[in-house]
């Protein structure tokens, strides 16, 4: 019985409030917008990379 009593105590429970504030809908929308901008930049960079490397391939001998 002593073992059971050690698990059930009258001590207050730990504070379960988050260490940082929860995200608001506004925060989530702003983060999604930033992710969209990052994705667009990545795609633009990929397109430019593909364009440059395809130009390089065209300069190889026998590739006309």
Q: Mean pLDDT across the chain, nearest whole number?
A: 78
User: pTM higher than 0.85 for the full model?
Assistant: no
Read off the pLDDT band of 32 (50, 70, 90): very high
Q: Is the pLDDT of residue 12 over 70?
A: no
CA distances (Å), origin 7, targets 2, 11, 62: 9, 10, 80
Whole-number pLDDT of residue 2? 53
**Cα separations in angstroms, 21 against 27, 33, 59:** 11, 20, 56
Rounded mean pLDDT, 22-39: 94
Residue 38's alpha-carbon distances to 5, 11, 12, 15, 48, in angstroms, are: 55, 49, 46, 37, 15
* H or E element in which residue 47 lies: helix 25-58
36 confidence band (pLDDT: 50, 70, 90): very high
User: Residue 45 has which token pair?
Assistant: 């960079």
Question: In the chain, where are the structural domains located?
Answer: 24-49
């Amino acid at each position: 019985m002593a073992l059971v009593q050690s698990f059930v105590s009258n001590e207050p429970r730990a504070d379960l409030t988050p260490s940082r504030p929860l995200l608001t809908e506004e925060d989530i929308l702003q983060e999604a917008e930033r992710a969209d901008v990052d994705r667009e930049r990545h795609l633009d960079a990929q397109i430019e990379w593909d364009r440059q490397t395809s130009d390089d391939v065209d300069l190889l001998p026998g590739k006309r």
